[in-house]
Amino acid sequence: MSEFNVAVVGATGVVGREMVKILEEREFPLNNLTLLASERSAGEIINYRENKLEVQELTKDSFNTIDIALFSAGSTVSKKYAPIAVKSGAIVIDNSSAFRMDKSVPLIVPEVNPSDLTRHNGIIANPNCSTIQMVIALKPILDIAGINRIIVSTYQSVSGTGKDAVTELTEQSLKVLNNKKPKSKVYPHQIAFNVLPQIDEFEGNGFTKEEMKLIHETKKIFNNKQIRITATTARVPVFYGHSESVYLVTDKKITIKKLKGIYIKTKGIRLVDDIANNKYPLAIMSETYDEVMVGRLRKDLTEPNGINMWIVANNLRKGAALNAVQIAELLI
Ligand code: A2P
């Protein structure tokens, strides 16, 4: 079989639409593309190459002829329909958090742990967007110097929440600029012209679910439970692109010069680090580049093995849709 029947579940969402675009851009060997969403969107038209494809309502019979199903419709939909898709003979690549920490489900970033893909039971998980960009940037350091400690603070765009959040930021911004009172539906507080130090719900330990995802997923992808990692995740009024301030302490010494040399040669990473000319990764640059961008590299002045850096990536593409399609490419 050299061409595949692929389904995108959540095809009308911000990530689903990106999945369709990326399948086209990368000329994925498709026999047939099925676009699935809720009954609200049934009949909507989405273009794929010269074809106008009609979105279908997701049902338990949607997967009868599907080889690969890319899911991005949230955890509830994945929990219900991914097992049905697997039973129908499809392999599921799931962008939700439903199965990520399940021991029998590989959690894959193709540049970091492709060999984990060999053992799966039909479901493969795509990591959280903020995890993907961080592990790609840290993997070369882990390999040559080891990592003892990671302290990460994120500045995440609203598209990571979905299309309703993109609308909320637009509408609130217009309201504020017109001296009107903005309404919040998606977030617990106004997001326009504000920063929210909360992504997802709080857990009993004072951390949010997003922070715990970043912690647990990093350890699983690096296959290393010893790494000491702590996280603060914040939502910022940016439409696309997640930024991260990462501080890490390595086991062995590594110079910034050597690290830059490694980053220049690493596939999937773009070094943007020229402070003399005010050049560093910016969220808006993630609309142009698919690589994970790394910059502001510097030695901590108080800890011999400490390094600070700034990491930016497109949360909808490398942080979600592109990573999922790359997993599908690895599979085939
Ligand atoms: P719909 O547009 O019909 O609501 P986003 O992450 O941008 O919010 O998008 C979520 C995606 O998941 C959309 O395509 C949405 O479809 C889809 N979705 C949400 N709930 C369901 C459901 N119960 N069944 C099928 N698709 C769903």
- Ligand 1 contacts CB of residue 140 (under 6 A): no
Query: CB under 8 Å to 139, separation ≥6 — which residues?
Result: 111, 112, 222
Nearest CA to ligand 1 atom 8: 162
- 278 C-alpha vs ligand 1 centroid, how far in Å? 40
- 10 C-alpha vs ligand 1 centroid, how far in Å? 5
**pLDDT tens, residue order, the chain (332 aa):** 579 999 999 999 999 999 999 999 999 999 999 999 999 999 999 999 999 999 999 999 999 999 999 999 999 999 999 999 999 999 999 999 999 999 999 999 999 999 999 989 999 999 999 999 999 999 999 999 999 999 999 999 999 999 999 999 999 999 999 999 999 999 999 999 999 999 999 999 999 999 999 999 999 999 999 999 999 999 999 999 999 999 999 999 999 999 999 999 999 999 999 999 999 999 999 999 999 999 999 999 999 999 999 999 999 999 999 999 999 999 99
Residue 65 is classified by DSSP as T
- Ligand 1 contacts CB of residue 319 (under 6 A): no
- Of 253, 234, 240, 259, the closest CA to residue 309 belongs to 259
- Ligand 1 contacts CB of residue 160 (under 6 A): no
Best residue for ligand 1 mutational test, from 38, 94, 167, 200 (most atoms within 8 Å of Cβ): 38
- Of 154, 148, 147, 98, the closest CA to residue 125 belongs to 98
Distance of CA 261 to the CA centre of its chain: 26
Active-site residue set: 129, 242
Q: How many CB atoms lie within 10 A of CB 200?
A: 16
Ligand 1: which atom is nearest the Cα of residue 161? 6
- 324 C-alpha vs ligand 1 centroid, how far in Å? 17
Residue 239 is classified by DSSP as S
Q: How many CB atoms lie within 10 A of CB 5?
A: 18
Structural domains of the chain, ranges and CATH numbers in brackets: 4-127+320-331 (3.40.50.720), 131-315 (3.30.360.10)
- Ligand 1 contacts CB of residue 8 (under 6 A): no
